[in-house]
Chain A
């Protein structure tokens, strides 16, 4: 097994587990939010890694005059890029939603520590 070829996966696994831990166990809402976005970024990284082509790869834009089959053997994966582009936009909507809710939580309770917010019984 070539460790260099597997290293990105190991880093992504560590990053994702740390983020899931932080979302579940940290009590600060802002830290939870940051962990959610970092988790999304870890997965984005996973997509990019899986769509990468080693060697003399070119971006997935066909240069004028190049033969499509040659292009297909040179360029990186457009599908992985597409997934990342979509997820980034979706992540932005998550930021907006959670930020709005967090600000309102702060206005109502004066804190963003989930341990101190105990109106509901759960």
Chain B
């Protein structure tokens, strides 16, 4: 790095910082919540004003899939683009080979741990209306189950769990279909009944009558479509990460080497 570069760099950073600090000078002190945030907090699980509620005690989850659900829908699609990036660039036409030589104990314990991780992922997703968590977080944990197996044992262990690349793609898309159908059902209802309902509408409102059932059997499972749609995201994200790691752990150069020999 030459002297000229340093001068340019330092002056750029200094100028930019000065401009931004100038902008922030008029900002209020840290430590208060803006009224829109308080609106969400007040209304998210307020039984007295059910026209404005999302029926989710966790306000972040309520904002995530109800108040601003359409954002999250496309955020999920942006994540999908990330998976496509990996698949488009690195996917090869090869199937997984089943590894042999694992003892029964290894297989059994691995499956046991696998089931535990999946259960905790499900729990984090489903109870995201009550506790911190959500589809993406649950999906990340679900992916850990597969990634741990890929790293600790081998890619070849995945067929043991009835999983390979095209199956992972399929399951991921089923998650997306679940999200998509929950998005479209209000629109279809609107078209069929001739009344107004909006895409991704969750609870009935005074100006729009469509609504999903609020409680899924149990009192603690409230939130209408929030829980099923989060399960869809769990599957999508978990399988997405699994696909990424399956593709990226493929040994490179092996194919080219084989090509040279033949």
Contacts and interface: CB of A to CB of B under 8 A. Distances in A.
Most buried by A among B17, B46, B60, B62: B60
Contacts of A100: 85-86, 88-90
Nearest to A94: B82
Interface string B1-32: 00001001100110011001101110101111
B169 interface: no
A17 B17 contact: yes
A2 B29 contact: yes
Q: How large is the interface on A (under 10, 10 to 19, 20 to 34, 35 or more residues)?
A: 35 or more
Q: How large is the interface on B (under 10, 10 to 19, 20 to 34, 35 or more residues)?
A: 35 or more
B59 A75 contact: yes
Given A6-B24, A86-B71, A54 B31 contact: yes
Contacts of A89: 75-76, 78-79, 136
B60 A96 contact: no
Tell me whether chain A's interface is mostly helix, strand or loop, or mixed. helix
A90 interface: yes
Nearest to A80: B37
B86 A96 contact: yes
A62 B59 contact: yes
B38 A73 contact: yes
Contacts of B59: 60-62, 75, 78
Contacts of A85: 60, 64, 134, 136
